[in-house]
Amino acid sequence: METQKVQKNQCDMKTDLNLLLECLKYQMDCPASQKEALITIYSICQQNSEASEYFREIGGLMFINDLAKSSVHRIVKEAALFTLGIIIESNVYCQQTLCTSALFEDLILFLINKDSGVNLKRMSVYVILVLVSNNKSGQTYVRDTGCIGLLLQLFRTTLSISEMNLSDENTNQCYQLWSSVCSTLCACVNNPQNEDNQNICCSVFPYAKEWLESCTEPEIVRPICSFVGLTVANNSYVQKYFVSVGGLDTLAQVLIKLMHDSCMSHSSTKLAVVVTKTLDACIANDSAMGVVLTKYHTVSELLKLLSNDTLDTGEKISIILTIGHCTEVCAEQLSLKINDNSLNVNNAEELEVQVRKRSLQDYWKKAKEILHRINLIEKEHDE
């Protein structure tokens, strides 16, 4: 009985998609009807790999691709691009079919066309996002066609720091486009990691730094931290460049501000964890760069954050790892100074070393206490 029901649903789905494709073909002079048909198609194909694959087999995917380029109606272009994105996202074969330099070049034209509205640009960016996500070929095409350069330009110019009023409809639309660009840039550099794209994307770090200096709203900090964290990940060249433009200093300053705000705001506490993870990504491969953070007493701030009872286990572990990377070089230097008997130091220097050593030991003692507490909580939960 259940098998018959599944078969009937599959048959109905195929019938519906065939009828909707015919509707698209014969309603070329009626953009409203085409838009409705496209909405129905993506509602069927959304998170439905089988439906998306069937639609590709009957020629629907390529028809919508052509429709997005040929239609003179903006509402049809927008709906066609969004439908393409939904289908690509739900089926890897559809992604492979459309992942061509030709499509990236078409999307570039949408983005540079002065007549393209903000929403059409956002739909174009969405298609780029699903083409590059988990797809090395897409990451290569986005670079080779120059599309990544255009995305970086949008990152720099779409939003104005001085006009950040998201309650304003026009500003909010621009923000949605900018946020989509950030997500797409993240996909360009990550999963799989793409060093070539990381090396290109780091060119906008000075702009990211300027944003963080001017605004600590979650709507800005979260996308930028995601972008920075993935762009610097496992790439020493990019990490050093971020430090050289003052990015690490800025993150440390943002953390201090958020820690001050966290006394009154739960959202600031959560945002401080996001910043902490980004800090860690910047120094994880070369903790010597973490020396920059000493003047901001970052470890002390992280220990305060670690003691916050509202954080979950994963967040606390992230903070502990960051503390470890922040103190790693300092611990090595102290060990060398204390164990090297041939080192001639005066009493003042020796005292300073001992004080720093005790301070470091205190940090780790607190961290271990928190970790022990986390383990107990996990055991209680398992029981």
Mind giving me the DSSP string for 4-30?
HHHHHHHHHHHHHHHHHHHHHHH-TT-
| Pair 122, 81: CB distance under 8 Å | no
Q: For the chain, state the CA radius of gyration.
A: 26
Start-end of H helices in the chain: 2-26, 31-45, 49-57, 60-70, 74-90, 92-98, 101-112, 118-132, 136-144, 147-157, 169-189, 195-201, 205-214, 218-232, 236-244, 247-261, 266-283, 298-306, 313-339, 347-382
Domain assignment present for residue 208? The answer is no
pLDDT digits (tens, 9 = 90+) for 10-41: 888 999 999 999 999 999 999 999 999 999 99
Distance CA 68, CA 37 (A): 14
For residue 82, give its domain range: 12-98
- What pLDDT is attached to residue 325? 87
Q: Where residue 363 falls among pLDDT bands split at 50, 70, 90?
A: low
Domain assignment present for residue 315? The answer is no
Answer yes or no: is pLDDT of 345 > 50.
no
Domain assignment present for residue 271? The answer is no
| Pair 27, 34: CB distance under 8 Å | yes
Q: Are residues 117 and 180 in the same domain?
A: yes
Tokens 């502990």 found at: 320
Distance CA 203, CA 205 (A): 6
Residues 77, 82, 86, 88: is their CA dihedral positive or negative? positive
Considering only CA atoms, which of 217, 200, 81, 84 is closest in space to residue 149? 200
pLDDT digits (tens, 9 = 90+) for 62-83: 999 999 999 999 999 999 999 9
Q: Are residues 60 and 114 in the same domain?
A: no
- What pLDDT is attached to residue 351? 44
- What pLDDT is attached to residue 156? 96
Amino acid at 364: W
**Contacts from 230-233 at CB under 8 Å and sequence distance 24+?**
230/186, 230/189, 230/190, 230/281, 231/185, 231/189, 231/198, 231/201, 231/202, 231/205, 232/198, 232/202, 232/281, 232/282, 233/189, 233/190, 233/193, 233/198, 233/281
Q: Are residues 111 and 145 in the same domain?
A: yes
Q: Are residues 111 and 69 in the same domain?
A: no
Distance CA 217, CA 171 (A): 15
Distance CA 175, CA 139 (A): 24
Q: What is the DSSP letter of 121?
A: H
Distance CA 209, CA 206 (A): 5
Q: Are residues 52 and 17 in the same domain?
A: yes
Domain assignment present for residue 331? The answer is no
Start-end of H helices in 247-292: 247-261, 266-283
Domain assignment present for residue 297? The answer is no
pLDDT digits (tens, 9 = 90+) for 319-338: 999 988 888 765 544 444 44
pLDDT digits (tens, 9 = 90+) for 204-213: 999 999 999 9
Domain assignment present for residue 144? The answer is yes
What's the predicted TM-score (pTM) here? 0.86
Mean pLDDT of the chain: 88
Of 76, 98, 120, the residue that ends a domain is: 98
Q: How many domains does the chain have?
A: 2
Distance CA 316, CA 362 (A): 17
Q: Where residue 357 falls among pLDDT bands split at 50, 70, 90?
A: low
Q: Are residues 182 and 125 in the same domain?
A: yes
Helix axes 118-132, 74-90, angle to 10 degrees: 20
Lowest mean pLDDT: which of 71-85, 94-108, 162-176?
A: 162-176
Domain assignment present for residue 350? The answer is no
Q: Are residues 107 and 59 in the same domain?
A: no
- What pLDDT is attached to residue 377? 60
Considering only CA atoms, which of 288, 283, 287, 319 is closest in space to residue 303? 319
